[in-house]
């Protein structure tokens, strides 16, 4: 499994979701299976109780999960079906860790942001990344050409595993997991996720981890340089 993380700076709303969706589409064009995860650092468990004037409209997934609208971009761009677990929030992570602490899972240890919160974030990412995201779990890109009998599909390209997209490919996990970190890297609420991702690169290996940064480049004056 390869992981591509997209973060943003200066201001929010720069188009990180569209960036991830576009990258995923290009990877599909190369015959790779992709999945995506959206990290929202706010303390809300999900976007369902948030005012649309505050955070925009929420997107309802097939499992009933009310999530950030970026997951709708992922589904439409990449023709995949995500679950509510593909939307990670601070509220979900802390609720999970506190539930474990109340059950005594930590065996009396002092529960801290590092390592317990950061470890839970990494575990969540790794588990969700291996969930098949469509009926076949195999999203080889299919080009369509208009013929006399209507749209016709071109043959699928073999993926890295050498599969051709037949019945044996059902329920396969993705080759690449795209992760978007909402907000900006300067937000205090994002810091725990950035630290978890810093540790995550050593967990999965540097060759399996890529960090991409989207920033605002202002144009001074009328002349675009």
As a whole number of angstroms, the distance between CA 189 and CA 117 comes to 13
Q: 113 pLDDT exceeds 60? A: yes
Question: Per mean pLDDT, which range of 29-33, 63-67, 157-161 is the poorest?
Answer: 157-161
Tokens 């995860």 belong to 37
Across 42-54, average pLDDT: 87
Q: Please give the pLDDT value at position 223.
A: 64
Across 132-139, average pLDDT: 58
How much is the pTM?
0.80
Q: Please give the pLDDT value at position 184.
A: 86
As a whole number of angstroms, the distance between CA 14 and CA 34 comes to 22
Contact 212, 8 (CB under 8 A): no
As a whole number of angstroms, the distance between CA 79 and CA 32 comes to 13
Q: 26 pLDDT exceeds 80? A: yes
Residue 175 gets which letter from DSSP?
Answer: S
CA 168 to chain centre: 26
Tokens 């997934």 belong to 61
Model confidence band, residue 16 (pLDDT cutoffs 50, 70, 90): confident
Smallest Cα–Cα separation from 171: which of 76, 71, 35? 35
Q: Please give the pLDDT value at position 154.
A: 36
Q: Please give the pLDDT value at position 89.
A: 94
Total Cβ atoms within 10 A of residue 147: 8
Across 20-43, average pLDDT: 94
Question: Per mean pLDDT, which range of 110-114, 132-136, 221-225 is the poorest?
Answer: 221-225
Cα dihedral 34, 40, 45, 47 sign: negative
Q: Strand pairing of 150-153 and 144-147?
A: antiparallel
């Amino acid at each position: 499994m390869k992981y591509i993380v997209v973060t943003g700076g200066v201001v929010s709303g720069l188009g990180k979701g569209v960036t991830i969706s576009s990258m995923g589409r290009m990877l599909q064009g190369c015959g790779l299976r992709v999945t995506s995860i959206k990290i929202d650092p706010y303390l809300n468990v999900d976007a369902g109780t948030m005012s649309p004037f505050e955070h925009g409209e929420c997107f309802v997934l097939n499992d009933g999960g009310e999530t950030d609208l970026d997951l709708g971009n992922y589904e439409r761009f990449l023709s995949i079906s995500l679950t509510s677990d593909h939307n990670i929030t601070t509220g979900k992570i802390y609720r999970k860790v506190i539930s474990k602490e109340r059950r005594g899972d930590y065996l009396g240890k002092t529960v801290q942001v590092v390592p317990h919160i950061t470890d839970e974030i990494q575990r969540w990412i790794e588990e969700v990344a291996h969930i098949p995201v469509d009926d076949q779990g195999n999203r080889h890109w299919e080009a369509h050409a208009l013929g006399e009998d209507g749209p016709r599909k071109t043959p699928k390209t073999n993926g890295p595993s050498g599969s051709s997209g037949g019945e044996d490919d059902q329920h396969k996990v993705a080759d690449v997991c795209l992760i978007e970190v909402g907000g900006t890297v300067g937000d205090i609420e994002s810091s725990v996720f950035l630290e978890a991702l810093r540790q995550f690169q050593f967990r999965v290996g540097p060759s399996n981890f890529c960090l991409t940064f989207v920033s605002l480049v202002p144009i001074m004056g009328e002349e675009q340089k």
